[in-house]
Structure 1
Amino acid sequence: MSVNQRKASLITRNVEEQGTRRLFESAAGIIEEAIIGSMEPKQSCPALPETINLARRVNWARQKLRPRDPTDLHFVLDSSHVTDEFLMKDVSNDTRRHVVLASDTMLYLLVDATFKVVKKLSIHTFVKSGTCTKQVPLAFTLMSGKRRSGYVVVLKGIIDLLPNRLVWSFAA
């Protein structure tokens, strides 16, 4: 086995090992980190597989270790991968389920709800400083349906979460 093949084998093993330990991190980031940590600047390794092939290999190995996708709405929400400060509300109406995700800071910024109820899964605001304007997400909602009643229960849930009652009502 040549030096290049040994180095490629070492990097590949390292990538697979790190990929199965860090299930929810980007495969590309793990690969880049492993390559940078194993090679000198401007050094090449012709035996190293393409990054896309390494990523496929890592994701294939991870697939068995990740939680299964839910098959219905009665699943237990594993909050171990979402911080307590971000997972805010799990609400339901009739046979539908909606999960509201927002941080306290995002909710604090959500002070005006003069929008109509539309089929959107997130609430944003615009922040302007000088000539620069940025769109900032305030709340994310995973909804199992697009009915008006679902939006009403989600928006009421968000209003309940607000630190001060700055939003008194919303257009329904």
Structure 2
Amino acid sequence: MSRVAKNPVALPAGVEVKIAGGEISVKGPLGQLSRALHPSVSVAQEDGAVVCKAIDGSKASRSMSGTMRALVNNMVTGVSKGFERKLNLVGVGYRAQAQGKKLNLSLGFSHPVEHELPEGVTAETPSQTEILIKGVDKQLVGQVAAEVRGYRPPEPYKGKGVRYSDERVVLRETKKK
């Protein structure tokens, strides 16, 4: 059996969970998230915690119970604390500026890059070379961070580009004559 699914998801104060019609919705101080439940997993609320169990003993059902538990845990964490991803811009003239629902990037191209932020995600720029992407949905925050990084991923010779703050870029040695 999945060892992840054995642990119940504890609900912090101020977080409400509703399970109805094959869907789970979690509401907290930072927002609301909802997700469809997998048909082979039963999700129930017991004693201030959410418990995920496999309906039958099949391998697919057991593995999906662990996946659903992780997804519900991410939803609870998102509406209570939120998620954030930090990006650094490395390179001469590389700049970022957040303006409302847009992120303006200057990444060494002949034109400025304008990234439209989806609903539920905000971006802050504490300095010109740092971007903080925040949101309630972990998947959406990671996706936006990956899209911004995708405009100019770090190159292996000088390390220039957009990188995650915890990313380590291994530099290659240049060709010798």
TM-score by length of 2: 0.24
Query: Who wins on radius of gyration, i.e. which is larger?
Result: 1
* Higher share in helix: 1
TM-score by length of 1: 0.24
* Higher share in strand: 2
